[in-house]
Structures are given as structure tokens and as C-alpha cells.
Amino acid sequence: MKTRDRILQASLALFNEEGERNVTTNHIAAHLGISPGNLYYHFRNKADIIYTIFLQYRALVNQYLVVPRDRPLTIKDKMFYLESVFDGLWHYRFFHRDLEYLLTTDERLRRDYRDFTFQCLAEIRAVLQGLQEGGILRSHSDGEQEAMALNAWLVVTNWMAFLKTAHAAEGDGDISREQLRQGIYQVLTLEMPYVTERYHDEVMDLRERYRPELPEGAVMATAF
Amino acid sequence: MKTRDRILQASLALFNEEGERNVTTNHIAAHLGISPGNLYYHFRNKADIIYTIFLQYRALVNQYLVVPRDRPLTIKDKMFYLESVFDGLWHYRFFHRDLEYLLTTDERLRRDYRDFTFQCLAEIRAVLQGLQEGGILRSHSDGEQEAMALNAWLVVTNWMAFLKTAHAAEGDGDISREQLRQGIYQVLTLEMPYVTERYHDEVMDLRERYRPELPEGAVMATAF
């Protein structure tokens, strides 16, 4: 593997494990057994590494989240998109954690992440539209669709942070890929009331597979 | 005002304006015209200041978000809770920004914020329950209520970060109190499909008052 690719791979792993804020370019170089000078030959600074990782993340999302506009969507399509989105979140899980700070320090990232957000919102809307045309979601207005898509985005991008909070009492609060995938339950909850009678039971059953397992303390939320 | 209170007030203002990560205890002391030693007499370190500000935030939320369990709720109640929640978010807006990092560095905050989260989830559920008993929301199962409450929490706590992203192109991306309040539109969107026919138009009209004004780029999300 080329040094540049090794730097990116190691950076992503370290950011995911330790949080971007706790990882310096010196850590990354030491981890790879290369000199800081060698690292700086490939990347100007840490922000440059982060931006390059963002481009990889975006390329991944662009690969799977291209929603056909010329045919209705099936439940299988929908589940593929959801699984892919949460897979992407898992592989680049450091990204949404310290995002606000990353965005304040790199104008290029701020601009491109903003466009990426709106592009994702457009694709989420295309999914909702395709499911409506497929008879899976009942008819809803453009305004409703826009607001629903935005809520899906807010739920997806905040799910990891919530898990970290919920599991805070359990040692280092490491979250598994399985737990992250359970965010699919929350996204399907958003759409459940719009599912047509014909598909209601099928979607309910699918959703059930992802029911989040929250820790003990969470019973407070059910104590009436 | 006592020095301790002045430190807290100045810290909150600086964190909100510049982000917690960009503000050191030296900044805070300089801003107040006091010596770092004087600051350290009152607070051991920045984490100590942040934890104390969190306690103030929690006390504020505990003041308004105590949902009566012995009577049905009205739409007026609901709007009071929503306005209060977004007011609290505004006054302590730095808090949810860099939250994940704050939580990794302070175990006391991690534990207490976790309990605070589950306490808020319980109150959100009590609101949903009260609205159901008031005939405003149609009957829903316990499981549905739990998932809905969690989605409301995810939307509320991620709204500020989304606004920052959406408005990233406009200079320093400062968000107004009015824009933050527009998150109420997104929360009401979650519950809209559960509103009974009798109250449907009233809630739709209320929601409309908060419709988010997103910047130009957001039209991508409507371009079909």
C-alpha cells in the first residue's frame, strides 16, 4: 500500500478509536513508524487528512445512495439504503462526533459538507418519493416530504452521539456496529405512520429486527 | 455579582460565541480582568466550569419540564414545553455542540448527562401521554411512544448542528434565536401523523409559524 493510503487508513482507525481531538499528526506518524516529515510530505496538516477522509466518505455515499427517479421503490430498496447509510456511519464514525469543530476550522470542508448534506437530503426525498410511487408510503405533500427527510437526517446523524451517551456508564462507552445499526429502528419509526395498510405488517416486522437495546438506566424513560 | 457567578456568566457567553474548544481559562480570566489564579480559586479547571454550567442548564430544564401526570395536556401546554426547550437550547447552545468530547473528558458530567437524557426522555413521554389523554394525539402503544420520544430528543439535540451546517456559507455561520426556534417545526412534524382529526388544522397552523427558512442551497433538496 502506498504511504499516502496507509496514512489515511491509520488516521481513520485512530480517529474512530480515540476521537479526532485526541489524535495528532505525531501520533499518526508514530503509529505507522514513519517520520512526521514523511507524513507532512503527503498532507499539509491534520485538517488536510480529515478533508481527504471526508472525500472518501462522500464517494462511498455517492456509490450507494443514488436513488433511481424513473421507477417506484420496493421495501428491499429501502432496506438496502438504510443498511448502507448505517454502514457508512460505522466506517467513518468519528466524523459526525466532532463535526461542528471540524467545520469551524476548515472552510473547504464546511462548504463541501454543506453541499453533501443537501445532496443527501435530496436523495432521502427521492427515496420517500419512490416509496410513495411504489404504494408503500401513502401520498404526502412536498412540504411534508421535505420536513420528513430532514428529520430522517437529524435522527441518522445524531444516533451515534445518543448511543455514546446512553452507554456512558459502561466503561469506555464503545459502541458496536450492531448497536449503531439499531438506528434503523428509529428511522423506520419516522415513516411508520405513513406506511400504507397493505405494507404495514411487513414494515413493522422488519423494523422489529432493529429494536435498540438500551442499558438499564433507560427504564426511567418507561417509568410511568 | 460575585466573582464565581461572573466567571460562570462570562464562560457561558464565550463558549456560546466562540465554541468551548476555542476558549481557555486564560481567555476567561483576561475577559473578566482577573488573574488566572483568582479563577482557579473558584474552579479547578475548565471542565469544572463546564460541569457547573451543565448543572445550571439542568436546573433550568427541571424548572419548566415537569409534566403533570394527573391531568390531560392541552395544545397550550405542549407549545409551552416546546418554546421552553428551545429557549434552554439557545441559552446553553455551546453545550450540545462539542458534547461528545466534553463527555469523554469528565466522568461526572458523562454520568449526570446520561441521567439527564433519560430524565428528559421520560418527560417527553409524559407529554405524549398527556396529549393522548387530552384527545390531541391518537392512541399509540408504549413502544411507539418510547421510539417517538427518542426521535424528538434526537431532532431537538441535533437541530443547532444542522443549522450551523446549512448556514455555513453565510460568513461565520451565526444562528439567531429565531432560527433555532424553527426546530419546533421539525418536532411537530414528528407528531403530525398522530394528531387527531379534531385538532389537525389547529396544530398544522401552529406548526406553520415555525417553518424553517433555509438558505438558497437547500433548494437542492426540492429539485425533482
pLDDT of residue B218: 58
- What distance in Å separates the CA atoms of residue B11 and residue A138, rounded to the nearest whole number? 49
Whether A151 sits inside 8 A of B118 (CB atoms) is: no
Q: CA separation (Å) from B98 to A19, A97, A210, B58, B203?
A: 12, 8, 28, 17, 33
The answer to whether A154 touches B154, Cβ cutoff 8 Å, is yes
- What distance in Å separates the CA atoms of residue B54 and residue A60, rounded to the nearest whole number? 38
The answer to whether A86 touches B182, Cβ cutoff 8 Å, is no
User: Each residue of A11-54: pLDDT tens digit?
Assistant: 999 999 988 888 999 999 999 999 999 999 999 999 999 999 99
User: Each residue of A134-167: pLDDT tens digit?
Assistant: 999 999 899 999 999 999 999 999 999 899 888 8
The answer to whether B130 touches B72, Cβ cutoff 8 Å, is yes
Cell of A1: 500500500
User: Half-sphere exposure of residue A77, counting CA atoms within 13 Å on the CB side?
Assistant: 20
pLDDT of residue A224: 42
* pLDDT over 80 (residue A217): no
pLDDT confidence of A218, banded at 50, 70, 90?
A: low
The answer to whether B130 touches B73, Cβ cutoff 8 Å, is yes
**CATH level 3 topology of A1-44:** Arc Repressor Mutant, subunit A (1.10.10)
Interface test with B, best of A153, A154, A187 (most B CBs within 10 A): A154
Whether B221 sits inside 8 A of A149 (CB atoms) is: yes
Those residues of chain B that have pLDDT short of 70 are 171-173, 216-224
| B163 exposure class (CB count in 10 Å sphere: 0-12, 13-18, 19+) | buried
The answer to whether B191 touches B202, Cβ cutoff 8 Å, is no
Nearest CA in chain A to B204: A144
- What distance in Å separates the CA atoms of residue A117 and residue A114, rounded to the nearest whole number? 5
DSSP B194: G
Alpha helices in A19-141 (DSSP H): 25-32, 36-42, 46-64, 75-91, 99-105, 107-133
The answer to whether B218 touches B166, Cβ cutoff 8 Å, is yes
The answer to whether B73 touches B67, Cβ cutoff 8 Å, is yes
Cell of B44: 479547578
User: Each residue of B12-47: pLDDT tens digit?
Assistant: 999 999 888 889 999 999 999 999 999 999 999 999
pLDDT confidence of A191, banded at 50, 70, 90?
A: very high
Task: Count contacts between A and B (CB, < 8 Å).
Answer: 175
Query: Mind telling me how many Å the CA of A63 is from chain B's nearest CA?
Result: 19
Q: How far apart are the first and last CA of chain A?
A: 57
Whether B192 sits inside 8 A of A144 (CB atoms) is: yes
Query: Cβ of A86: how many Cβ atoms within 10 Å?
Result: 21
Query: Cβ of A177: how many Cβ atoms within 10 Å?
Result: 12
Whether B119 sits inside 8 A of A220 (CB atoms) is: yes
- What distance in Å separates the CA atoms of residue A65 and residue A84, rounded to the nearest whole number? 8
ipTM of the complex, rounded to two decimals:
0.92
The answer to whether B186 touches A147, Cβ cutoff 8 Å, is yes
Helix (H), strand (E), coil (C) string for A113-181:
HHHHHHHHHHHHHHHHHHHHHCCCECCCCHHHHHHHHHHHHHHHHHHHHHHHHHCCCCCCCCCCHHHHH
- What distance in Å separates the CA atoms of residue B180 and residue B176, rounded to the nearest whole number? 6
Can you tell me the mean pLDDT for A89-118? Answer: 88
pLDDT confidence of A221, banded at 50, 70, 90?
A: very low
Q: Which chain B positions have a beta carbon within 8 Å of A142's beta carbon?
A: 222
Q: Which chain A positions have a beta carbon within 8 Å of B121's beta carbon?
A: 218, 220-221
pLDDT of residue B216: 63
Nearest CA in chain A to B185: A147
Q: Which chain B positions have a beta carbon within 8 Å of A46's beta carbon?
A: none
Query: Mind telling me how many Å the CA of B37 is from chain A's nearest CA?
Result: 27
Nearest C-alpha neighbor of B89 from the set B64, B63, B57, B66: B57
Please report, to the nearest 10 degrees, the dihedral formed by the alpha carbons of residues A26, A27, A32, A36 taken in order: 0
Query: Cβ of A219: how many Cβ atoms within 10 Å?
Result: 11
Whether B111 sits inside 8 A of A168 (CB atoms) is: yes
* CATH of segment(s) B50-208: 1.10.357.10
The answer to whether B148 touches A187, Cβ cutoff 8 Å, is no
User: Each residue of B202-219: pLDDT tens digit?
Assistant: 999 999 999 998 876 554
The answer to whether A96 touches A15, Cβ cutoff 8 Å, is no
Query: Mind telling me how many Å the CA of A137 is from chain B's nearest CA?
Result: 13
pLDDT confidence of A102, banded at 50, 70, 90?
A: confident
Q: CA separation (Å) from A141 to A106, A125, A192?
A: 37, 11, 16
Q: Does residue A216 or residue B178 have the better pLDDT?
A: B178
pLDDT of residue B175: 86
Nearest CA in chain A to B67: A224
Q: CA separation (Å) from A42 to A1, A13, A39, A58, B198?
A: 14, 18, 5, 21, 64
Domain boundaries, chain A: 1-44, 50-208
User: Maximum distance among all alpha carbons in chain A?
Assistant: 63
Nearest C-alpha neighbor of A157 from the set A99, A218, A83: A99
Q: Which chain A positions have a beta carbon within 8 Å of B110's beta carbon?
A: 165, 168, 173
- What distance in Å separates the CA atoms of residue A128 and residue A201, rounded to the nearest whole number? 18
